[in-house]
Amino acid sequence: MPPWIFSRKGASGFSWASTADQVTQGLSAAGLTAIVTGASSGIGAETARVLAARGAHVVMAARNLAAAESVRQAVLADNPAATLDVMELDLSSMASVRKFAADFNAKGLPLNILVNNAGVMATPFTLSKDDIEMQFATNHVGHFLLTNLLLETMKKTCRESNVEGRIVNVSSEAHRFTYKEGIRFDKINDEAEYSTFGAYGQSKLANILHANELARRFKEEGVNITANSLHPGCIITNLLRYHGIIDVLTRTLGKLVLKNPNQGAATTCYVALYPGAKGESGKYFSDSNVYEASEKARDMELAKKLWDFSVELTT
């Protein structure tokens, strides 16, 4: 594939090939506090590293504490001035989400940026600790609950600092390949009709709908917080570990056409920090540019229905 296809820049001045370091070059996040979920590897680890490099106090939320601490130590080795904390968070468990939020809020820290990045992909059918299909539970429900539990802290921070808060939901172009119904409200736990990739697409569609409904509510309330979603690109990560041959092909031939984690984190860092994203809310981004999501993802009635459904699940 011709190199110019990857380097062609969009309206933002960035492209498929842009890295997280490039999109944040010269920017300062000093005085800001960010939470990044899934910060123990891949996009989450890179996002945490780059935000910390720009001066943010980064809270690395991760299920695997040892892996997250290893990332933290690697960042500090390169940048001793970085401020990073590791906190345990298992998004498939509402009890863990509630404990994380309570522990974070008890620290009395501000919260300017929330990056809902962690996820699982195309897993075999299984139920979470709360009896919800695992991909929907981890990728959407856990982040929905986490966001709600941290909202008052974010609102207080933006009021007192007069700095725009930003919520970033890492979705995927896979949202276009959800079940034909979009969100299977009545069949979330239906093992008989379960599709590994259909369920993944459903959870990624939910990420976009969640951000869009948050954006609508913030606008209605006059709150200075934006909520956006994004496709990070096709990236070499460990998400496909449940699909052996696909994982092998991704890590070998995929290196020719897939993004590395630093490129994959570019759009996340752009939406989280770049001045050009200020005031943008309810948008879907790809390659650090505004992009059009699917028709289902732009259905505000579906977003409202998902919000009400998610409230029921989490209460």
> And the tokens for 34?
């960010």
Look at residues 63, 115, 105, 109 and name the one whose alpha carbon lies nearest to residue 83: 109
The DSSP H or E segment spanning 101 is helix 94-106
Q: Give the phi and the psi of residue 114 in degrees, each rounded to 5.
A: -125, 115
Other C-beta atoms closer than 10 Å to the C-beta of 55 total 16
194 is catalytic: yes
CA 152 to CA 129: how far, in whole Å? 27
Of 194, 200, 270, 291, the catalytic one is: 194
Measured CA distances, 69 to 37, 156, 236 (Å): 14, 29, 21
Residue 225, strand partner residues: 165
Return the residue matching tokens 């976009």: 208
Six-digit token string for 82:
């970085």
Residues annotated as catalytic (active site), given as ranges: 194
